[in-house]
Amino acid sequence: MILTRLFAFVLTPNETNCMSQKAPLPSLTGHRLKTRKRDEKKQYDPTGFRDSILEGLEAAGDDLEAVSKFLDVSGSKLDYRRYGVNLIEILIAGGLLAPGGIIATEGENGELKVRTNICLFGLADSMEKVKAFEQVFVKLMRRYKYLEKMHEEEMRKILVYLNGFTDEERLRLAEITAVWLATGQIPPTTLSVLINEHQVKDGMALKFFMDTLVTLKAEKGGNAVTTAIKRSGIESRLMEFFPPTGNQQTEENFLKTFKEKNLGEVVTFRKNYAAAESRHGVLEMIKECIDDEKTPKEIIIELKDSCAKYNISDGDAVVLIWTSVMSSVEWNKKEDLLQDQALRHLKQYTTLFGAFATSSKSEIVLLNKVQDYCYENMNFLNTFNKIVLLLYKTDVLSEDAVLKWYKEAHSARGWSVFMDQMKKFVDWLEQADEESDEDDDEDED
C-alpha cells in the first residue's frame, strides 16, 4: 500500500508536466507556399516601361491623334501610377533622362542611346507644333488626373537639366513651359528652380526665363507676365538671373536686357516691387519710432531722410503715417468712448501729418485714406467728420483741399454716409469763403 501511494505521488507531477507542454507544430520543411497573385510585387523596371512606350510611339509616328490614342489605352496595362514621371520624360525628351539632362544609354560602354523622335524635342519645330503637342499632354492629364502632380514635380527636375539640352530643345521647352503656365498646368513657382549656380553663371537660366516670358506675353499679354512673376516666389530675386561676374548685376543692365526682349513689364514690376519694399521699410521705421515714444519732431527728421533716400512722395508719406499711427493703439470697442480716444490719439501727431500734407494733392490723399479707414473699420464710421474737423483746426487740412475733396475728389466708398456727415461743415466753409470774398470787395472799394 505504501509503495503504491509513493508510486502514484511520483507519477502524478510528471503526468501534469507532460500535459502542460504544447504539442510541437508539424514541420513544413520541404514544402513551398504559393503566394497569391495579388500579393506579388512586380519588379521596378523603368527601362522595360520605356521600351514599351517607345514601341507604341514609333508605331503611332507623327500622327498626334494616334499618339494620344495609344497613351490613352496603355495607362492601366503599363502602370502610369508607377512610371508616370518616366512617361513625362519620354514625351518631352524622347527617352529616360540621366542626371544632367542627357538621355540614358545602354550597352557595356554606354554607346547606345535609346530614344524616339516622337516627342516634344523631336516633333515640335515651331510654336504651332508646340501647341499641338501640348494637346497630347492635355488629353493624357484629363484621362489620368494623378499624372498632373507628377508632371509638376517632373518639370521642377527637367528645368534644372537645361545644360543637357540643345539650344533648339531649350527653346521648345521654354515655349511649352509658357503654355503650361498660361493654362495653369504647372504653377509659376516652378520657375524658381531656374536660379541655380550652374545655369546662371553662363546665362542659360536668364535666356530660358526670357524666352518663357516672351512666349507667355505673346499668348496671354503683358499682364500674364506680371502675374506669373508675382506668383513665382522669385519677385525679389529677378537680379539673380544675371551672372554675378562682369558687372552684369546692375540696374542699367537689367533694364537694357529686358527692354531688348520687349519685356518692359518686368522692368516696371521690379521698380514697383522695390518701391513697395522701400515703403514697407519706412512704415516699419515709423511704427518703431512711435513704439519708442519719439517726439513728432524726431520722427519728422527721420522720415524726411527716408523719403529722400527712397524717393517717397508726400502723398505716400501721409498714408504711411496714418497707417502707423492708427495701428499703434488698441481701440476701445465702445463707439462713444472710441471717438474721444481717437481724437486724443491723433492730436499728438498733427504736426507729423502737417509736415507732409504740404499740398492740396497730399491733403486729398490723406482725406481719402481717412475715409477708406473709417469705411473699413465700422466703429469709426461716425467719427469721420470729427477727425476731419480736428485736422482742419490744426492746419493739417486746408479749406480748399476739403472743398475739392467733397465736390470731386472723394472716394466712392461709403460716400452717402460721409457726405451727410460733412454737409454742415462744408456749408460753413463755403459761407465763410463767400464772406471773405465780400470783405475783399469792400476793401478794394
- Tabulate helix, strand, coil % of the chain (nearest 5): 70, 0, 25
pLDDT of residue 114: 84
**CA 94, 99, 101, 102 torsion-angle sign:** negative
**273-435 maps to which CATH number?**
1.25.40.180
pLDDT of residue 99: 85
CA dist 31 → 28, 41, 244, 281 (Å): 6, 22, 69, 77
Distance, in Å, from the CA atom of 130 to the CA atom of 71, rounded to the nearest integer, reads 18
DSSP state of 377: S
Amino acid at position 431, single letter: Q
pLDDT of residue 29: 54
Strands (E), 189-348: none
Q: Across the strands, what pairs with 105?
A: 113
* Cα 52–Cα 56–Cα 62 angle in degrees, nearest 5: 145
Distance, in Å, from the CA atom of 272 to the CA atom of 270, rounded to the nearest integer, reads 6
Q: What is the pTM of this model?
A: 0.74
pLDDT of residue 440: 53
Max Cα separation, the chain?
Answer: 159
Domain coordinates in residue numbering, the chain? 45-105+113-158, 164-262, 273-435
pLDDT of residue 41: 60
pLDDT of residue 22: 54
CA dist 209 → 149, 397, 417, 440 (Å): 22, 49, 50, 67
Average pLDDT across each block of 10 residues of the chain; the chain has 445 residues. List them in order: 45 46 54 52 85 94 95 91 95 92 66 81 95 96 95 95 94 97 96 95 96 97 96 94 92 95 95 92 96 95 95 95 95 89 96 96 97 94 95 95 95 94 92 64 51
How many other CB atoms are found less than 10 A from the CB of residue 147? 21
